[in-house]
Chains A and B, each alone.
Chain A
């Protein structure tokens, strides 16, 4: 937090609230345990429909302002109807959204006024893996590349530090970059 007289930097991030939450949750660790949820219903073919409504956190059940809905499908070249983004693209969306939020928050804390931030994200994948055609090829991304174009009152070095810190504190970056235990079971 800064209390200097420099021009007020406003990226629309409530840093005080974030820091206050950090402070409060450090003293009440059980409230820091969150569970994020989504549900997904098959429609037809590769098309499914997902909704996000509520989550658990701060020791209680929480609700989004509204229910968010997503159509998930595959493109026509996969012999699908292309009713929505592919699951892999939604992963990229999640990563880009997480890193971009982090850029804004870190910039706010570092007194960097942002004018524009655009992330371009690519995930390279060899689909021989998911097709089961080559056992040496993994299903997932070979590599993910995120490129940030940032217009801000800051040096290039500061911006590099900004995106580095955003990665360091990013949930989805961690989810994508590091192994996560995944359990899939029959209800």
Chain B
């Protein structure tokens, strides 16, 4: 029996990000991984797959992209490498080749995990196995004639594995359109069955669509402010492809390739596939929703005085639907030799022996806090906490919030006992134990240090666990006696700042530890108070993948009035083509951020006024120092840099999330949150908006109600017109 405080199941981007967050809080934990780090990216993704999101957006807690192709799209294999580097960088205590067979509740003691032949006991468990473990195949698959080869995207590698002949690709979301194009180019004529889909252009007005989604705060939209959360969580992934050429992959372009578009596959009778006659409306809806988002984008550009930096607005051609498309296709004629089910994915919780799933098998959760199982959390699901949760970079904020909740949960469980006992504040857990599970340091031992060196200058400057997250500026602001509102701290970690930080921690009776120190520490007993109240425990604040979704619907929060936003007038925007070229070495403005945004000096008041409900407390990084960060960043080396934050448009698309602890809760040693920007969980009801700094807060009262009892069902009762429309499944 192995005891640990927390177990994270899954060492993908979300699980690793959570490991980082737990280490930041000195919560000892183990990450269980059935294969190796980033296993699904290694073994269940076809080689040509690239992320839908541009490289500049591929960021993890403490790690931002700093490579030479910020506007490129990362291949799956590179992401796997990146995640492996990240696991070393953060010293994640990953136990690889460990398959979880069962997870059970273990009374008040927490949870029991059976993995391989071991039993683990933990007080908290984080499910980070991802949303795409299994293919979601419709029941009609059983009716496909046996003469036809069928396969799923998880098994697909390249067209060469398919027999010659025609291919019916079922489903036209990101996976379907990508594979349809790739297979068709191999000389196998493709028929694409199209159900409900999300159409988005790869770029618009010279910027990548994800630049727009982030800039307009759409991705920051929180799960508890989305009118129809069920719909949002089940939207199919957008019809996008990450290609070096950054081309748009919509139905019109596929038609131009020669791919035959048909309606949703309805059923197969006597070997004959029957398709929906509703394709025209399906396409009309997708066009309408795309244009709704583009309207919002244009309004935003005008409101932020960015029109001069962008190409002129335009609209894309409506989806052409050939009125002669077949309604039927005989699968026994030999014309179609392969059916590829690009019909979506679903999580695999077959090993979960805790009754937390609804009748459809989905885990009931409130922003990742699993309902009815205190101490259990889930990560990496679409729109888990924000629309960004669907994508890799969303894990940073999600894990921050959930780690805080988890931390609070551990504290609260023991609060009664701890009142009766002296607070043990500086016990370092014994080192032993976990070495039996895996090497104390990640593979290679010093590799973690190498990774730090490789991954960024700032990470090199100090303890890695200090390096990331939004707490840096806030902590430093406090230790240097700065009020964020008076003088914004530079976000680059300088030695002097770290010194001040360490002094501050020393004063607070806290111990600083490298993540490597956390790795390999065995806790004698999970019931040991020393574990929870151990040194370094602090309360500072600090996915998704291509199969997931986003919702360009409900984009109605752009206020009509124009707001005054100061824009630093810089050089004219480079042409789109130029943007995709690799930058010259050391080119300072080659920033892994949306161009334009990084150069903005946007008064927070204007941003707060504009962004409305999407602007949240906890946005500590105003865009005002983008130039400073850009300068510092160039000192880093390698693809990723460490904690230098900045140049992301955080002031415009804040990811700060409210603490899932109640507003009146604050740990005695809490720091960071309340220092940076002057707003902490306890302040949530006050509604502080720091007029000089980043937008501080929106929907104050909403958060004051507290995170532990977030009202997930509220959305159903206040559904708006568009929100009131349940969504069908993917094609």
Interface centre among A161, A176, A179 (most CB of B within 10 A): A179
A29 x B285 contact (CB < 8 A): no
A132 to B276, CA, bound (A): 25
Does B721 have its Cβ within 8 Å of any Cβ on chain A?
A: yes
Beyond known contacts A20-B717, A173-B281, A181-B267: 19 more, CB 8 A cutoff: A1-B719, A19-B716, A19-B719, A22-B716, A22-B726, A26-B716, A29-B359, A164-B284, A164-B285, A164-B288, A165-B285, A167-B278, A169-B725, A177-B276, A177-B277, A177-B278, A178-B264, A178-B278, A179-B269
- For B288, the chain A residues whose CB sits under 8 A away are 160-161, 164
Given the interface pairs A176-B277, A178-B278, the reply to whether A165 lies near B725 with Cβ below 8 Å is yes
Residue pairs across A and B with CB atoms within 8 Å: the count is 62
A109 x B266 contact (CB < 8 A): no
B634-689 with Cβ < 8 A to chain A = none
Does B412 have its Cβ within 8 Å of any Cβ on chain A?
A: no
Interface size class of B (residues with CB under 8 A): 20 to 34
- For B713, the chain A residues whose CB sits under 8 A away are 23
B266 x A178 contact (CB < 8 A): yes
Q: Mark B255-285, 1 if CB is under 8 A from A, else 0.
A: 0000000011011010000101110010011
Q: Mark A18-35, 1 if CB is under 8 A from B, else 0.
A: 111011001001000000
Does B720 have its Cβ within 8 Å of any Cβ on chain A?
A: yes
B65-113 with Cβ < 8 A to chain A = none
Chain A nearest CB, measured from B386 CB (Å) = 23
- For B263, the chain A residues whose CB sits under 8 A away are 177
Q: Mark B695-731, 1 if CB is under 8 A from A, else 0.
A: 0000000000000000001001111111011100000
Q: Mark B305-325, 1 if CB is under 8 A from A, else 0.
A: 000000000000000000100
CB-based nearest B residue for A106: B721
CB-based nearest B residue for A24: B716
Given the interface pairs A23-B713, A26-B716, A181-B267, the reply to whether A109 lies near B278 with Cβ below 8 Å is no
B416-454 with Cβ < 8 A to chain A = none
Among A23, A173, A177, which residue has its beta carbon within 8 angstroms of that of B717?
Answer: A23
Given the interface pairs A23-B713, A109-B720, A110-B721, the reply to whether A178 lies near B276 with Cβ below 8 Å is yes
Chain B nearest CB, measured from A118 CB (Å) = 19
- For A43, the chain B residues whose CB sits under 8 A away are none
In the complex, how many residues of chain A place their beta carbon closer than 8 angstroms to a beta carbon of chain B? Answer: 29
A124-144 with Cβ < 8 A to chain B = 143-144
Chain A nearest CB, measured from B368 CB (Å) = 21
Q: Mark A105-133, 1 if CB is under 8 A from B, else 0.
A: 01001110000000000000000000000
Among B230, B267, B285, B722, which residue has its beta carbon within 8 angstroms of that of A179?
Answer: B267
A selection of 17 A-B contacts at a CB cut-off of 8 Å is: A1-B718, A2-B720, A19-B717, A19-B719, A22-B716, A22-B726, A23-B713, A109-B724, A160-B288, A164-B285, A165-B725, A167-B281, A168-B285, A173-B278, A178-B276, A178-B277, A178-B278
A164 x B281 contact (CB < 8 A): yes
A168 to B277, CA, bound (A): 12
Does A151 have its Cβ within 8 Å of any Cβ on chain B?
A: no
A177 to B263, CA, bound (A): 10
- For B720, the chain A residues whose CB sits under 8 A away are 1-2, 109
A22 x B724 contact (CB < 8 A): yes
Given the interface pairs A164-B284, A179-B269, the reply to whether A19 lies near B277 with Cβ below 8 Å is no
- For A165, the chain B residues whose CB sits under 8 A away are 285, 725
Chain B nearest CB, measured from A15 CB (Å) = 8
- For A26, the chain B residues whose CB sits under 8 A away are 230, 716
A143 to B359, CA, bound (A): 38
A179 x B278 contact (CB < 8 A): no
A168 x B269 contact (CB < 8 A): no
A174 to B269, CA, bound (A): 18
- For B726, the chain A residues whose CB sits under 8 A away are 22
- For A178, the chain B residues whose CB sits under 8 A away are 264, 266, 276-278
Q: Which residues of B contact A (CB under 8 A)?
A: 230, 263-264, 266-267, 269, 274, 276-278, 281, 284-285, 288, 323, 359, 713, 716-722, 724-726
Among A22, A111, A144, which residue has its beta carbon within 8 angstroms of that of B721?
Answer: A111
Interface centre among A2, A109, A174 (most CB of B within 10 A): A109
- For B278, the chain A residues whose CB sits under 8 A away are 167, 173-174, 177-178
CB-based nearest B residue for A181: B267
Chain B nearest CB, measured from A55 CB (Å) = 22
B284 x A179 contact (CB < 8 A): no
Interface centre among A110, A160, A177 (most CB of B within 10 A): A177
Q: Mark A147-187, 1 if CB is under 8 A from B, else 0.
A: 00000000000001100110111000110111101000000
Chain A nearest CB, measured from B339 CB (Å) = 17
Chain A nearest CB, measured from B678 CB (Å) = 33
A19 x B724 contact (CB < 8 A): yes
CB-based nearest A residue for B274: A179
CB-based nearest B residue for A110: B721
Chain A nearest CB, measured from B372 CB (Å) = 15
A160 to B288, CA, bound (A): 9
- For B323, the chain A residues whose CB sits under 8 A away are 143
- For A2, the chain B residues whose CB sits under 8 A away are 720
The list of the 4 closest CB pairs from A to B, nearest first, reads A179-B266, A109-B721, A177-B278, A177-B277
Q: Mark A81-111, 1 if CB is under 8 A from B, else 0.
A: 0000000000000000000000000100111
- For B284, the chain A residues whose CB sits under 8 A away are 160, 164
Chain B nearest CB, measured from A92 CB (Å) = 14
CB-based nearest B residue for A144: B277
A23 to B716, CA, bound (A): 6
Interface centre among B281, B285, B722 (most CB of A within 10 A): B281
- For A174, the chain B residues whose CB sits under 8 A away are 278
Chain B nearest CB, measured from A32 CB (Å) = 11
- For B359, the chain A residues whose CB sits under 8 A away are 29
A23 to B288, CA, bound (A): 27
Interface centre among A2, A144, A168 (most CB of B within 10 A): A168
- For A179, the chain B residues whose CB sits under 8 A away are 266-267, 269, 274
A108 to B284, CA, bound (A): 21
Chain B nearest CB, measured from A21 CB (Å) = 11
A29 to B359, CA, bound (A): 9
Chain B nearest CB, measured from A81 CB (Å) = 33
- For A144, the chain B residues whose CB sits under 8 A away are 277
- For A22, the chain B residues whose CB sits under 8 A away are 716, 719, 724, 726
A95 to B721, CA, bound (A): 22
- For A164, the chain B residues whose CB sits under 8 A away are 281, 284-285, 288
A38-52 with Cβ < 8 A to chain B = none
Chain B nearest CB, measured from A157 CB (Å) = 8
A18 to B719, CA, bound (A): 11
Chain B nearest CB, measured from A173 CB (Å) = 7
Chain B nearest CB, measured from A143 CB (Å) = 8
A1 to B713, CA, bound (A): 15
CB-based nearest A residue for B715: A23
- For B269, the chain A residues whose CB sits under 8 A away are 179
- For A168, the chain B residues whose CB sits under 8 A away are 281, 285, 725
- For B230, the chain A residues whose CB sits under 8 A away are 26
- For B277, the chain A residues whose CB sits under 8 A away are 144, 176-178
- For B721, the chain A residues whose CB sits under 8 A away are 106, 109-111
Chain B nearest CB, measured from A183 CB (Å) = 13
Chain B nearest CB, measured from A170 CB (Å) = 9
CB-based nearest A residue for B284: A164
- For A143, the chain B residues whose CB sits under 8 A away are 323
A181 to B266, CA, bound (A): 10
Chain B nearest CB, measured from A94 CB (Å) = 16
A168 to B716, CA, bound (A): 19
